[in-house]
Amino acid sequence: VIGSRELEGEAAKEIICFGDDQRDIPAGARVTGFGLVKLDVKTKSSSGVEFKTSGSSNTDTSKVNGNLETKYKWGEYGLTFTEKWTTDNTLGTEITVEDQITKGLKLTFDTQFSPNSGKKSGKVKTAYKREYVNLGVDVDFDFAGPAIHGAAVAGYEGWLAGYQMTFDTAKSKMTQSNFAVGYKTGDFQLHTNVNDGTEFGGSIYQKVNDQLETAVNLAWTAGSNSTRFGIAAKYQLDSSTSISAKVNNASLVGVGYTQTLRPGMKLVLSALVDGKSINSGGHKLGLGLELEA
């Protein structure tokens, strides 16, 4: 089934962006962010309720964040109920219906409420997936006026093309317009994108062998003379241990180490070194522990 993951160059992003803001990267592929101490715990009750909790401490700001998520799937009716809570005192409820109205159609109703500020928000998401196409329309409700997000991805014989847009009804104008083209084979992926007609980017991912993966990322913004680029690699030492390394044109060097200590327990270490000021400090370390039962 064609998905937006390949079109967005996720394989390259997982390697290039380890240690950065990784909200768009699948959880299993993340490396703990630089300057963070993090703990993730996942468990499942005998009745089928899934619990997920995570906490992190930022060594720069000393801010501690945490969240709790519970999920229950009612497979007979294609329903999934999710409850979320964060230390910012934001409560969220999500209800998903999948493959019930028609095969490939997924409907999601998402609401959030902050008791402290009284702020409320709601979102309706629709997604339709088939073998060669992936369509999505989300409506983000706001008191000023809803925002409409749309995306479409089509693929054939390894080639992918997609378009993403956001229309702000309050301002009656398009606020986002992105286009991307990609190509994917078993061990190679190519991705190019144009965002709002001003930002141009591309990435190349290659799985050299069963142990080594490499990626290159380029980006350029109209009106700017500088080109941003980065190269990265991930090497699987054995079935339970991997190391990652990356460097970009800002002379930032990142390294990561991931080891599965035992089934359901993973240790993640990361470090970021500023090559321009090695003796000045400001380097960052990251530590993470993931538990799953």
Mean pLDDT, residues 242-268: 93
**What would the two tokens of residue 251 be?**
């002379």
For domain 4-292, give its CATH number from 3.10.150.10, 2.40.160.10, 3.10.450.50, 3.40.630.30. 2.40.160.10
Q: Following CA atoms 190, 193, 199, 202 in sequence, which dihedral angle do they give, to the nearest 10 degrees? A: 0
The pLDDT-based confidence of 21 (bands split at 50, 70, 90) is very low
pLDDT computed for residue 282 by the predictor: 74
- Which residues face 127 on adjacent strands? 106, 136
The pLDDT-based confidence of 15 (bands split at 50, 70, 90) is low
Q: What is the pTM of this model?
A: 0.78
Which string of b and e fits 49-67 if b means at least 16 CB within 10 Å? Answer: eeebbbebbeeeeeeeeeb
Domain ranges in the chain are 4-292
For 13, the enclosing helix (H) or strand (E) is helix 10-16
- For strands 284-292 and 36-44, give the pairing: parallel
The pLDDT-based confidence of 27 (bands split at 50, 70, 90) is very low
